[in-house]
Chains A and B, each alone.
Chain A
Amino acid sequence: MIIGILAVRGNIGRSTFTRSLASFWAKREEVSLYELDVSNPKLISFYPWNEKTVKRKVSRVDHKKCDLSGRCFEACNFGAILKENGRVTRKPYFCRGCGHCKEVCPKGAIYFEEMESGQIGSGKDGNISFFAGRLSSGDAWEGGLIKEIKESHPIEGKNAVLKAPLGLGAMSLKAIKDADTFLLVTSDHQGVKDEINTFGQIVQGFDMPGAVVFIGKRFPEDISQEIDGLNLTGLFVPFIQDLGSDTLQEKDPNVQEAFEKTLRLSGGA
């Protein structure tokens, strides 16, 4: 069973929930926990991990060969290579390393170089195997680093919890597409219905079970209809302040009911 955990809002308790769910599960069996929110990897301060620096390839221009044909920046769909003040400049942190610019350059003026993308690593804490990545402050594209984590530490066949990059777009879904259960962690706010609707459509598209984990004081009844209508499961988790490195269940054993339900969503455990 692989659980993918999404969120659109920050600082509502997703990392705490994720940690707590993993340790609940790890009481029964080995669990792999993946921190894939590489631009804000909060989980890395809770687990041991031996990090190593990884690089990715990005395009670079040899100005001696460049004749300003303009083919490269026409070909680049990412704004990673552009013409500014009569010179080709680049923003390597937006580059996907696809090499389209290199292929269309009539002068062979483009070559690849390696750029630091971030750190990836793994560690072990009892029954939990932890895998994570942290994007370098100088890199912007999360996709390369996430791929690196998953290729170095394949998810397939494991019991795993995946924490997705913030949001509900392609980057977030790509990170957790191996999951067989999707969770959306949210809290009470004005946009919560739109958030749940968007999530519901995604879950329907993937055709797999999905649940909305609501963190707060109480479960807002006015969203239950929304959740039922989209064939989702609603779960409630109380918000507990100043938890430190404790888990939710250490403060409030009732929360285990939500974890139990989560693990039963796709018929596992």
Chain B
Amino acid sequence: MEIAVFGNPGSGKTELIKGLMKKIDKGTFVDGNVEVPILREFFKGNIKKKEPFQVPAPMRNYMVCVSCGLCAKNCPLGAISEADLWIDPLECEGCGVCAEHCPQKALNMMNMQVGNIFHMEDSQKRLVFGKLMPGALGGPILAERLLDEAQNYKDLTVIETFGLGELSARLITRAQKLILMTNGLDESILKRAEAFFGGKEKFLVLNGVHGDQDAKRTFVQKAVDLGYEFLSEMKYIEDPEKRQEAFKGLSDMVKERVF
């Protein structure tokens, strides 16, 4: 069973997961932030396993390259400079079309390490997180790999997504339950969840939303019409201790009604 916590940035996903980590005795957590993973700061256990994360990238063998330029001409992303055939690591997505077109077989797709995958353990609780090298490509693919790793434990899996782009889309397509957290009333977040969430059960949490009651009610009604169960509305609490207390309450509710 995979439960994804999805929501706009700053909507309190980490605080909820932090609370759930304390409430649950058995299960696997996945940190979707692969650039600056944060959940490890709150997880008590030790690192049990560390493995490299690799993505395919084109490598040029200059001994056989004749600078014919077909790679640059055929690169669908314009990542190879026609002037000196330099491959821009930020533009290259690792699709492999250049290698396909190289008549000399000077370009080969090689697995290149761009980060690491870590497993932490605290008796029957686990945390799977990744750390990408600064500025490296492959974040969304790494996030999916973390989910694969977590699924190997065949347990309850709780996923914290990151952002609203490709990475979170990849994670929520594979979840069975969704907890949508929002700090605003922009309906585009409901549309995004509808487009990618693959499961059926959906739950809604409002956290620190400004705006009048009517606007909130309209938003919640829209979500309910889409099949969401409305869980709770959290007020913005400035004091960190009181906030933590409030999220403890939310964790209890999630444990009871979602799990």
Contact = CB atoms under 8 A, between A and B. Distances in A.
A96 B35 contact: no
A11 B135 contact: no
A153 interface: no
B196 A191 contact: no
Chain A interface residue bracket vs B: 35 or more
Interface stretch (B63-71, B187-195, B217-225, B243-251): B187-195
Interface in B65-100: 76-77, 89-91, 93-97, 100
A94 B166 contact: yes
A205 B89 CA distance: 12
A170 B8 contact: no
A166 B56 contact: no
Given A11-B8, A79-B144, A137-B188, A205 B163 contact: no
Contacts of A91: 173
A191 B41 contact: yes
A137 B191 contact: yes
B36 A168 contact: yes
- Interface of B: prevailing SS: loop
Interface residues of B, number: 50
B38 A190 contact: yes
A39 B165 contact: yes
Contacts of A198: 35-36, 134
A209 interface: no
A201 B136 CA distance: 12
B33 interface: yes
A171 B169 contact: no
Contacts of A135: 165
Contacts of B37: 191, 194
Contacts of A165: 163, 165
B165 A142 contact: yes
B162 interface: yes
- A96, A104, A140 — most chain B CB neighbours (10 Å): A140
A167 B35 contact: yes
B9 interface: yes
A103 B100 contact: yes
B9 A9 contact: yes
B164 interface: yes
Given A39-B163, A169-B138, A170-B137, 4 more contacts: A9-B9, A39-B192, A135-B165, A199-B134
Interface of A: 8-12, 38-40, 75, 77-79, 91, 93-94, 96-100, 103-104, 135, 137-138, 140-143, 165-171, 173-174, 177, 189-191, 194-195, 198-199, 201-202, 205, 242
